[in-house]
């Protein structure tokens, strides 16, 4: 079956494992992650790519899962918040109280993880640019920036 036209059974590389799922051509990655695979870390919110609540990593680059069709990521490495365990970024968010309700936190953590890996010497301006892709309605962002800076200053790559 040609997945690019009709959908069908596909294999996805998610969090270091290969998962087989049945998709329709129009299924977004956000839908597939949540409804087919039970991975609830990527959150539905704006559904138009403005808020970052559905941020995931594709080959270690942040993307909004609401903007990607599942068919577009076949053969790529997908990382969700569930795939990151006991990493420095998560510890920093806890230490610096960089979360409130937690709805946006997975997106911020994944974005920060990618920033630290790709730009270990990020400037304040670069940090702000990376954080601009995520919206938090509970904090003033100061705690989030403090968490990001602490990870960058520690020299740890994740």
Domain boundaries, the chain: 7-82, 84-154
Does pLDDT of 137 surpass 90?
no
Q: Which fold has domain 84-154?
A: DNA polymerase; domain 1 (1.10.150)
Task: Determine the Cα–Cα distance for residues 92 and 150; give it in Å rounded to an integer.
Answer: 7
Q: What percent of the chain has pLDDT over 90?
A: 78
What's the token pair of residue 17? 């494992």
Residue 86's pLDDT is 83
**Predicted confidence (pLDDT) per residue in 28-75, tens digit:** 999 999 999 999 999 999 988 889 999 999 999 999 999 999 999 999
Nearest to 36 by CA among 78, 76, 1, 4: 78
Residue 24's pLDDT is 93
CATH number for 7-82: choose from 3.40.630.30, 1.10.10.10, 3.30.70.270, 3.10.20.30.
3.10.20.30
**E-strand stretches of the chain:** 7-14, 17-24, 55-58, 61-64, 77-79
* Positive or negative: CA dihedral 106, 108, 109, 113: positive
Does pLDDT of 1 surpass 50?
no
What mean pLDDT, rounded, does the chain reach? 92
Residue 65's pLDDT is 98
CA dihedral 49, 111, 105, 35 (to 10 degrees): 60
Q: Which pTM does this prediction carry? A: 0.91
In this prediction, residue 139 has a pLDDT band, given cuts at 50, 70 and 90, of confident
Q: Does residue 23 contact residue 7 with C-beta atoms inside 8 Å?
A: yes
Nearest to 150 by CA among 94, 111, 69: 94
């Amino acid at each position: 079956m040609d997945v690019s036209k009709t959908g069908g059974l596909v294999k996805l590389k998610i969090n270091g494992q290969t998962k087989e799922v049945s998709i329709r051509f129009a299924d977004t990655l956000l839908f597939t992650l949540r409804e087919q695979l039970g991975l609830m870390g990527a959150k539905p919110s704006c559904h138009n790519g403005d808020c970052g609540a559905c941020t995931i990593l594709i080959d270690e680059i942040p993307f909004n899962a609401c903007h990607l069709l599942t068919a577009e990521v076949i053969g790529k490495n997908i990382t969700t918040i569930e795939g990151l365990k006991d990493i420095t970024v998560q510890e920093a968010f806890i230490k610096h109280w960089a979360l409130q309700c937690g709805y946006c936190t997975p997106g911020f953590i994944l974005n920060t993880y990618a920033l630290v890996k790709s730009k270990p010497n990020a400037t304040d301006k670069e940090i702000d640019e990376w954080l601009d892709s995520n919206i938090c309605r509970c904090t003033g962002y100061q705690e989030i920036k403090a968490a990001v800076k602490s990870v960058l200053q520690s020299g740890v790559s994740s």
